[in-house]
Every structure is written in C-alpha cells, then in structure tokens.
A and B are shown apart, each in its own frame.
Chain A
C-alpha cells in the first residue's frame, strides 16, 4: 500500500515535468526574420546639387525624354493628390509594412535584392553542361560585374533624376495637400520624377538582364516599391511614371555597355590557353583543377573584360610575376601554408569561414556591399549619395577582380594543395589558379574606397580587408604572397576610385 501511494505521488511529478518540458518546447521563439529590419531613411541632407555630379556613363540629360509634369493647380494633379489622401489615410497593416520596408531606401533595398539573387544563382553547373543563359553561375567575378552594373545604373539614373527634380521643381505631395498622411519624413526634395521609381525601374531592368528567369519576380518587386510610395503618401502616380521612364532609359544605356564589355567571351575555354600562352609553362608548374571530375577553370578571360576606371591606369597596377616553384621564397611560402593547416586554431577556422563567401552565398563582393550598406544606413545619406558609394566601390571591386583574373591566367600558379597534397583546408578550394587572391584584391579595393568616404571607420575597414585576405591563408588555399600582391593591386584600384570621387562634384 505504501509503495502504491509513492507511485501515485510520483506520477504527478512526472506529469508536471512533462508539462514543463513541452511548454519549454513551445515557448522557444526560433523565428529568424527573412527581411532585415532597417530604419526609415531620413537623409541628413537632400544634396540639391547632385544633378551636376559626374555620371559614369556620361548621361546627356537632354537625350532623356520624360512625360510632362502637370501643374499643381491642374485637375489631373489634384486628382492624383486626392488619390494619395485616400490611399494614405486608408493604409492597411500590410501596406504599412511594405511602405516601411521600402522607406529604408530604394538603393539599399535593391542592393539587398541583388545580393539575394547572386546567392541563389551561385551554384556551379554540372561539369560539361552547356551554358544556360537563364541559369547564370553567379560566381565572384560574375557577381562583381552584377553589383557594378546595378550600382552604376542606379547612380547615373539618380543623378539625372536630381537634375530633373530641381529643373521641374514639383514639391512633395504633402506640401500641396495637408490631408496626406505621410509615413515617410517630410522633405524639401522635389518629387518629380520619383527617386524610388527611378531606382526600382533601373534595378529591375538591369537585374532582369543578368537573371532573365527572375523577370516576373523583379516586376512584382518594382511594382511593390512604386506602390509603397503612394501608400506612404510620398509620390503621386505621375512622379512614379516619370521615374519609371527615366530609370528605364538609363538602364538601357548601362545594359548596352554590358553587352559590349567582353564578358560574353570570358568563359571561353579554348582561347585563353593561346591568349596567355600557357603551353610555354613547364607541365609540373601548371595549375590543374583539383576537382573530380576535372572542371575547366572559372572565367579564364575575365581579365580581358572592360574595366570601369581608366584601363591604362588600372593595368599599371597589374601584379608582378610570382616566385618560381623552385625558389626558396616559394618553398617558404608553401611551408607557411602547411604549418598553418597542420596547426589551425579554431579562431583561424572561424576567420576562414567568416570571409569564405563560397557556393550559395552573395560572394566576397557581396560581403563588401553588406559592409557598405551598414555604413550608408548609419550615415543616413540621401538616395543619390548612397548610390554613389555603391557605384564607386563596385566599379573598383570589379576592376580589381579583372586584374586579379588577368594575373591568375597569366601566371597559372598551382594552389598549395596541388603542390603539397598534405595541406588540408578549412574552406573549399576555388577552381582557378592561386595567384593573386581574389579575396585580397576585392577587399583592398573596397576598403580603400570606403575608408576615403567614411574616414572615421577607415582603420576598421582596412583591418577587415586584411583579415579577409588572411582568411585565405588560414583556410589553406592561398600563399601569403597571393594575398600581399592582391592587396597591393586592389589598393591601387581603390585609389583610382578615390581620385574619381574627388572629382565627381559630390564633395
């Protein structure tokens, strides 16, 4: 009898334990938001004179045609204002969410969208499969060009829109109708054409050129971006239509440049061996693919793609020849990689992993776009000044990549594990020659430019670039001289971007 009582008591304890367990299971909130929450952009200054800034594609504003801006007193415009009153006062919860999302800034949001698309398409195709234009492999060189094209189209379109904004000088809708319930801050920036529509359409068009299969998705985002401005009470339909028209015309110019930048030949697997005269290099010194089955090297003629900054100045930064495999300098460098691989600390692994940005990610150029975005959001810069950062940086990143790729195929240096198979890695071995490091090149170019634009962050940015380069040595896939020569080259390209920034009229 005693023991059955005990059993009865314990049943209750067990039941309570069970309840606690399952309530713990239920209470743990595991949600990770898929959309990054950002503050509503409240620019510290409107940059009235940005219409005079230098454009990358030398946009001639007189060759851009826009619909006519009806007068404020016109019945047509008054009807647009009335629509805004109705939409903004009857905003649903979901419309408010959407408007808040885009109010963080069209430039940063479209940059995020581009990063997500790069990550989605960053999957190596099956060896031997024919190229599929609907499924581009958004590897780091592809991504560098994608970010540059997007940023140039956004920047040039915004500079041109600023010119028209102050020429036409239509005040923000809320200035003409006090009944509009603004979600975004009041602004003195003229609203015709809408800077959001400009960015939405330019971005949509460029990204559709790069990722044709995303056409419908991109159209949906662009429509949402534009509609969000009406829900926010910030732009009328004619502001948006004019922005769409302008964004489209500038995007066409950017795409025309892209069609003739020689990227279409960058993947050619037959001509680069002749071009770089690779046959002259002794067999044992030549890079070979370490993948099974053998995979042809990535974009061997990317080094021939047209750079954004002055090509003569850019190619003056071309890295010198690496040490020969028989030299003591090379042997010491190889031994350093081996020693690190044999004794790799957890922290070295973490650094290798943090900067790896390999398959399925937004790539190293995307990592620097994320870093730039955080600085821009913190600085609360106007849309046009934000676009300028990305345009300056992404052009430098791509040009540094071009030089890096040129060196890779000119020198065709094997990866450390090819020379010493006992070198085990903490990251995937990229399928192209070692010298110079892409990470070092991209990162030094980006950090040099960003350090100029954000001087109070300069030290931290340059440290990040150093760590990104070092991560490849820690990972076991680069010699230290790959990193050092890559950084030197990237920094020189970064200086070209700084020189451009000093002369573009934005200071």
Chain B
C-alpha cells in the first residue's frame, strides 16, 4: 500500500526537477526503486528585471525543453536516496544567439525520516530532513542570454513536515536553504551565484492507482544583482513564486508502470522568466530487495 502511494510523489519531483525541489514527503520503503523519465517544455516571452516585467524583441520567446532521468531508492525504511539528471536545450525565437543544449546538473539527495506519529483514524504526522548535492554534469555556458543553468555546485538542506489525513489526502510543507558555490565564467574570473531560501506547500490525494496534487513554491534569493544591460547574469538575485499541479495514473495492464502530467505557472518573480511549463512522464517502479518487515 505504502509502495503504491509513493509512486506519484516520485513523479512530481521528476516532472519539476528545475522547479519545486527534488524531495517529497513520502518514504520509498526499504528496497524499493522508482525510476522515471520525463519530458518538459517551458517557455516565456516576458521576464522580470528586478520585479518589472519586460519583453525583449531581440530574444522573442525563450523556449526550454528537457528530458529528465530520475530515480529514488529506499535504502532503509528511514532513508531514501534520490538522484536526477536532466538534458536541457534552450533557444530564443528572435535574434541570433546560438541555441544551448547539454547535460545540466546531476543532483543527489539523502532524505531521512526523523519523526513519525500515528494518530490512527485521524491521520499520520511525519517529519523528514534532506541534504542535497548538485553538481554540473557538463561544462555548459552559464552567462549567455540563452543559458541552460548557472553551473554552480550547490548544497541544499531541507526540512519537511507532512500530515496525511484519512481518505488518502495529505498536506506537505517544506523549507530549505540552497547554498550555491562561486563559478568561474569564460571571461576568466570568479563570480558569486546567490544562495536562496526555498519553500513548498503541497496538498493532494494519493490512491492506489491515481494521484493528484497542487502546489505552491516560493524561492527567495538571499543576495545578488538585478539583470543589468539587458543581459541575465549568474550573479542575479533570482526569486519567484510558482504554482502548479500534477496528475498520475498507473497503467493497469502493465505491472508497476504509470504515466503522469503536470503544469507549472510563474505567478511573479525577480530576474527570471515568467515561464509556463508542461511536463509528461512515464514511471516504472520495482522492488529490488525483498523486505519482510514491509
């Protein structure tokens, strides 16, 4: 039962590897491995210079497509390992800037459940802590108007609290800090990529063959510059509020297989594109270790 419930959550993450964080409020369960492959497309023609929305006719619409590989493994009942690796391609519809594409950032998270209390018919409260390490998987260009990422090495710490209500409903909140390392850009010097606080609230329902949620993600840069001279730069203070939803259904004839779809919308932001994102994915779930305790 728990196994089935977790499937949908893995998906959420796979669908939003660049969006609302990589960790959810459910544990995989010892020995369970979930893999997902998803495709996302995102575009914007409006971006925020600090907090004012502008268009740039010399870039037109910036479109990003990505293919994300994702896996989550329950090392023990209390510890999950989560990894992700997207291939990203970005281009501008106007002007002459070259398309950028490549493997973006490899991320790995360890998530441990530190607290759980069962209220029986009233539900279950659990708390988790997660640590993540994100490292660029290729030497992509971080400082062009059309770029696929910031190329910084990041450390993340997150705390999650989830309350599961009866009837499969749940509420999850998490808060985290993203420490982004300095990068050396092609111009030959080091620049600081701002750290950020990140918060997620998610509500949804999780059932044996179906899952749905809605979420809000707020990220706040701790410091940084504003987009200057019309050119985004890795030192920019990127903040945003995004909301989205996720749907998942298993595909009954095929054991352990599911499909998912999700969308996200940028409600407001600073120094970032006002992007809308659509994702679809397939999920395959398999227990690799027999665990009699589960």
**Residue of B99, B114, B186 touching A354 (CB-CB under 8 A):** B186
Which residues does chain A contribute within 8 Å of B116, judged by CB atoms? 7
Which stretch, A18-26, A164-172, A182-190, touches the partner chain B? Answer: A18-26
B98 touches A425 (CB 8 A): yes
B157 touches A350 (CB 8 A): no
A360 touches B229 (CB 8 A): yes
Which stretch, B187-195, B206-214, B248-256, touches the partner chain A? Answer: B187-195
A424 touches B76 (CB 8 A): no
Interface: B110 (CB within 8 A): yes
**A425-B96 contact given A25-B177, A30-B182, CB 8 Å threshold:** yes
Q: Chain B's nearest CB lies how many Å from the CB of A147?
A: 19
Which residues does chain A contribute within 8 Å of B187, judged by CB atoms? 353-354, 356-357, 361
Interface: B245 (CB within 8 A): no
Which residues does chain B contribute within 8 Å of A123, judged by CB atoms? 228-229
Interface: A71 (CB within 8 A): no
Which residues does chain A contribute within 8 Å of B228, judged by CB atoms? 123, 360
**Residue of A14, A22, A25, A426 touching B78 (CB-CB under 8 A):** A14
Total count of chain B residues near the partner, CB < 8 A: 43
Which residues does chain A contribute within 8 Å of B188, judged by CB atoms? 354
Q: Most chain-B CB neighbours within 10 Å: which of A17, A293, A425?
A: A17
Q: Chain A's nearest CB lies how many Å from the CB of B16?
A: 22
Interface: B125 (CB within 8 A): no
A17 touches B229 (CB 8 A): no
Which residues does chain B contribute within 8 Å of A423, judged by CB atoms? 96
Interface: B230 (CB within 8 A): yes
Rounded to whole angstroms, the CA-CA distance of A417 and B129 in the bound complex is 52
A25 touches B229 (CB 8 A): no
- Tell me whether chain B's interface is mostly helix, strand or loop, or mixed: loop
Interface: B131 (CB within 8 A): yes
Rounded to whole angstroms, the CA-CA distance of A21 and B230 in the bound complex is 36
Contact with B along A354-389 (1 / 0, CB 8 A): 101111110000000000000000000000000000
Which residues does chain A contribute within 8 Å of B77, judged by CB atoms? 6
Interface: A72 (CB within 8 A): no
Total count of chain A residues near the partner, CB < 8 A: 46
Q: Chain A's nearest CB lies how many Å from the CB of B118?
A: 11
B293 touches A424 (CB 8 A): no
Q: Which of B150-168 contact A (CB under 8 A)?
A: 155, 157
Q: Chain B's nearest CB lies how many Å from the CB of A26?
A: 9
Measured CB to CB, the nearest residue on chain A to B235 is A32
Which residues does chain B contribute within 8 Å of A354, judged by CB atoms? 186-188
**A17-B293 contact given A10-B76, A292-B94, CB 8 Å threshold:** no
Which residues does chain A contribute within 8 Å of B129, judged by CB atoms? 14-15, 17-18
Q: Chain A's nearest CB lies how many Å from the CB of B115?
A: 7
Which residues does chain A contribute within 8 Å of B267, judged by CB atoms? none
Interface: B53 (CB within 8 A): no
Contact with A along B107-140 (1 / 0, CB 8 A): 0001011111000000000000101000000010
Interface: A174 (CB within 8 A): no
A424 touches B191 (CB 8 A): no
Q: Which of A257-310 contact B (CB under 8 A)?
A: 290-293
**A360-B192 contact given A7-B78, A354-B187, A424-B99, CB 8 Å threshold:** no
**Residue of B97, B143, B191, B293 touching A353 (CB-CB under 8 A):** B143
Measured CB to CB, the nearest residue on chain B to A9 is B78
B98 touches A17 (CB 8 A): no
Which stretch, A57-65, A231-239, A341-349, touches the partner chain B? Answer: A341-349
Interface: A122 (CB within 8 A): yes
Interface: B231 (CB within 8 A): yes
A18 touches B157 (CB 8 A): yes
Which residues does chain B contribute within 8 Å of A15, judged by CB atoms? 114, 129
Measured CB to CB, the nearest residue on chain A to B180 is A30
Q: Which of A388-425 contact B (CB under 8 A)?
A: 417, 421, 423-425
Rounded to whole angstroms, the CA-CA distance of A417 and B144 in the bound complex is 18
- Other A-B pairs, 9, CB within 8 Å; known A30-B192, A429-B96: A11-B114, A292-B57, A293-B57, A341-B98, A360-B229, A360-B231, A424-B96, A424-B97, A476-B96
Report which B residues bind A (CB closer than 8 A).
57-58, 76-79, 94-99, 110, 112-116, 129, 131, 139, 141, 143-144, 155, 157, 177, 179, 181-182, 185-188, 190-192, 195, 228-231, 293
Q: Could you list 15 examples of A-B contacts with CB < 8 Å?
A: A6-B78, A10-B113, A14-B113, A24-B179, A25-B157, A25-B179, A30-B192, A122-B229, A346-B141, A353-B144, A353-B186, A353-B187, A359-B230, A360-B228, A426-B98
